[in-house]
Amino acid sequence: MTALFTEKQRQLLGRVIFGWFVVALLWRWSDSAMISQLEQPVLGNVYKDLTFWLFELARIPAFVTGQYAVALLLDLVVTTAALLAFLQPSKVVYARIYCLAILFYFVIFTTYANYHYRPIIGLLVAGLPFAFRSMPRFGTFVQVLRYYVLFLYASAGLYKVMRGSWLNVDQMTMIIEKTQLDLLLTQPDNWHSLFYTWLLHNEWASWSLFVLATVLEVSFIIGFFTKRWDLGLFCTAISLHIGFYFTMGFFAFELIVLDLLLLPWNRMYTKGQLPITAPALSGL
């Protein structure tokens, strides 16, 4: 497996990725979703995740959230590191600091959110390639993340197929009833509520959208065999996110940053520059 990247291509991708991080983090600041804004929570859930258990046994989440100054410092470090990595994408030290700080943020926030908030995974893993100074390893890691993106979507579609949920005509209506009940009761005249009501009254339409989403997710299997359709898969991913927003009121901004890896970054700034070939994974 090979990947072709130049320093300019790396810097361009770095500015895009970390710029996305900065916007996402500022969004989380405005949404009071940073660790220092959680008001020292005490009830958490580590689930069956060994990484979470390691943090819990070390009492890291309780220590960080129990000390406002420490929590604020973590929030400032992760935000500042993302900003500095955006301004100077060639400096791997900023990317490394960000990757370490966002890991602490991810584990602590998810523990006290009492559910594994999956979209944050984009903020966690998309910056990892930039922690490598070696260009070949950087290129290889970008390709690894590309396959990870394909796995995320394809597995979601295959999960629906294997469980047979796509055969349940009322599957989508049940999802709307369980996730949007508060909105339907408190804001019945809201445009989103009116759309949900229409979907509930027209089961054929909601089921058709669910089947369409399943087909589009399964189509990401194509990417495991060829990169020729990556741009189309990127558009498909964005279409899914838009669809999820309209049908479930859910917009995974933090996850979209991973979709950016489906774009042909290694075809930009190629004139007059020698590409760098990444080694096979087995050679690392």
| pLDDT tens figures, 37-67 | 988 887 777 776 788 889 989 999 999 998 9
Mean pLDDT highest for which of 45-59, 194-208, 210-224?
210-224
Q: Confidence band (pLDDT; 50, 70, 90) for 169?
A: confident
pLDDT at residue 4, as a whole number: 63
pLDDT surpasses 90 at 224: yes
Q: How far is CA 30 from CA 22, 62, 114, 186, 255, in A?
A: 12, 24, 21, 24, 18
Q: Read off the pLDDT of each residue in 142-160 and give the average, rounded to a whole number.
A: 94
Two structure tokens written together for 245: 């927003």
Q: Confidence band (pLDDT; 50, 70, 90) for 279?
A: very low
Q: Confidence band (pLDDT; 50, 70, 90) for 163?
A: confident
Q: Read off the pLDDT of each residue in 236-248 and give the average, rounded to a whole number.
A: 92
pLDDT at residue 115, as a whole number: 65
Q: Confidence band (pLDDT; 50, 70, 90) for 177?
A: confident
Q: Confidence band (pLDDT; 50, 70, 90) for 21?
A: very high
Q: Read off the pLDDT of each residue in 159-163 and give the average, rounded to a whole number.
A: 90
Q: Confidence band (pLDDT; 50, 70, 90) for 188?
A: confident
pLDDT surpasses 80 at 269: no
- Dist. CA 90–CA 76, nearest whole Å: 21
pLDDT at residue 80, as a whole number: 97
pLDDT at residue 44, as a whole number: 74
- Dist. CA 120–CA 252, nearest whole Å: 8
- Dist. CA 18–CA 6, nearest whole Å: 18
92 and 133 Cβ atoms separated by less than 8 Å: yes
pTM for the full predicted model: 0.85
**Among candidates 189, 165, 193, 198, which has minimal Cα distance to 181?**
193
Q: Confidence band (pLDDT; 50, 70, 90) for 280?
A: very low
pLDDT surpasses 90 at 268: no
Percent of the chain with pLDDT over 90: 54
- Dist. CA 46–CA 115, nearest whole Å: 9
